[in-house]
């Protein structure tokens, strides 16, 4: 019996240190699930961090290790998934440079995700060249491994769209090297922060996978619920409550009761929050037990990255040989072997 060759997926994450529940539900959980059906490649997008935070490059490596520990604790299995670090595979930089010639400035200006980021960070007239162009680096990240699909949240779809265009353009100009990859959208919509706004480390509205039970209880107690529900008897509106969104994800079986009793006013926010804390603590316990074990074993972490990097590097080198060959760059051979005629 032949085993059908699995399609390859690739996805990356910027190293933001210890991960939060939003990273888990928005990406990581999905990567873990896909491990059995695909050949997975996952990488730490460390060069991408420089787009918004070039001054703190010294933080990137410790943040990388913290993030990789969370990846492993949450169930990414290095036997099934190749885990590697972008900046350790220099070929990404070369492919990025070559791709940068295939993309126009007006095309980059139409990217809604980059536009929004520039607006949010007030960078309108001082965005760096690298920040503005990072979707091209992302195209290099993806196409380097000739991935078929890219599991991402909806904010990343414009980058996958650009990647598809670059793949087609390269293939058309230099010959077919790249498959045209598709986005694999994450199903669960984005988990909000405890204040109801977008979950982000800089806003302090997260729950970390590594938060201890007392920290979880404290954070959940301070969560913002329905502003119209002030006292226990007041009827609530679960649809506007961040705590309810968390129950939907982490406590699905009790949803009908919680919804009905909140609306009636018989369920108070304090009890509802305590219940959620219990569920979160239970949910995170096995991840935390694993995390503590992995964190104590530096040689295991190093092994995982050494093995992942070397698998990734081999793929990247093969791709770059094809790219150089198709572009008729001679330097993949020895100078002595080269022959040329004037064109």
Enumerate binding residues for ligand TRP (CB under 6 A): 10-14, 45, 48, 138, 141-142, 150, 152, 156
Choice between 135 and 238, CB closer to ligand TRP: 135
What does the alpha-carbon distance between residue 75 and residue 37 come to, in Å, rounded to a whole number? 15
Choice between 65 and 281, CB closer to ligand TRP: 65
CB 192 to ligand TRP: min, Å: 18
CB 125 to ligand TRP: min, Å: 23
* 17, 66 Cβ separation under 8 angstroms: yes
CB 153 to ligand TRP: min, Å: 8
What does the alpha-carbon distance between residue 317 and residue 46 come to, in Å, rounded to a whole number? 20
What does the alpha-carbon distance between residue 254 and residue 72 come to, in Å, rounded to a whole number? 30
* 79, 311 Cβ separation under 8 angstroms: no
CB 150 to ligand TRP: min, Å: 5
Choice between 52 and 288, CB closer to ligand TRP: 52
Say if residue 52 is exposed, middle or buried (CB neighbours under 10 Å; 0-12, 13-18, 19+).
middle
CB 156 to ligand TRP: min, Å: 6
Choice between 82 and 138, CB closer to ligand TRP: 138
CB 79 to ligand TRP: min, Å: 22
Choice between 12 and 268, CB closer to ligand TRP: 12
CA 106 from centre of chain: 26
CB 122 to ligand TRP: min, Å: 19
Choice between 184 and 272, CB closer to ligand TRP: 184
Q: 200 in helix, strand or coil?
A: coil
* CA-based torsion, 335, 339, 341, 343: positive or negative: negative
What does the alpha-carbon distance between residue 309 and residue 19 come to, in Å, rounded to a whole number? 22
Choice between 88 and 290, CB closer to ligand TRP: 88
Other beta carbons within 10 Å of 77: 14
What does the alpha-carbon distance between residue 41 and residue 14 come to, in Å, rounded to a whole number? 15
Packed helices 134-144 and 112-120: angle between N→C axes, nearest 10 degrees: 130
Q: How many CA atoms lie within 13 A of 281 on its CB side?
A: 15
């Amino acid at each position: 019996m032949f085993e059908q060759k699995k399609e390859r997926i690739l996805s990356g994450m910027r190293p933001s240190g210890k991960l939060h529940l939003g990273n888990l539900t928005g990406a990581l959980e999905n990567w873990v699930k896909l491990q059995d059906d695909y050949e997975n490649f996952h990488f730490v997008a460390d060069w991408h961090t420089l787009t918004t935070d070039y001054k703190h490059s010294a933080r990137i490596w410790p943040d990388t290790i913290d993030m990789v520990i969370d990846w492993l604790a949450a169930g990414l299995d290095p036997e099934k998934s190749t885990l590697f670090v972008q900046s350790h595979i220099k070929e990404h930089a070369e492919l990025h440079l070559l791709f940068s010639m295939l993309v126009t400035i007006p095309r980059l200006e139409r990217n809604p995700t980059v536009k929004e980021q520039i607006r949010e960070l007030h960078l309108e007239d001082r965005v760096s060249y690298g920040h503005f162009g990072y979707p091209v680096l992302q195209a290099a990240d993806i196409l380097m491994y000739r991935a078929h699909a890219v599991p991402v949240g909806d904010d990343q779809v414009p980058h996958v769209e650009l990647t598809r265009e670059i793949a087609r353009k390269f293939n058309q100009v230099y010959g077919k090297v790249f498959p045209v990859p598709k986005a694999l959208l994450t199903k669960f919509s984005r988990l909000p922060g405890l204040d109801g706004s977008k979950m982000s480390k800089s806003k302090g509205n997260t729950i970390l996978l590594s938060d201890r039970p007392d920290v979880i209880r404290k954070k959940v107690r301070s969560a913002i619920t329905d502003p119209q529900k002030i006292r226990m008897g007041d009827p609530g509106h679960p649809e506007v409550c961040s705590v309810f969104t968390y129950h939907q994800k982490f406590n699905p079986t009790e949803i009908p009761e919680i919804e009905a009793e909140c609306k009636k006013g018989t369920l108070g926010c304090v009890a509802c929050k305590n219940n959620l804390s219990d569920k979160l603590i239970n949910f995170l316990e096995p991840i935390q037990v694993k995390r503590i074990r992995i964190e104590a074993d530096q040689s295991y972490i190093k092994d995982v990255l050494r093995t992942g990097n070397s698998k990734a590097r081999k793929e990247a080198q093969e791709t770059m040989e094809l790219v150089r060959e198709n572009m008729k760059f001679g330097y993949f051979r020895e100078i002595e072997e080269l022959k040329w005629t004037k064109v």
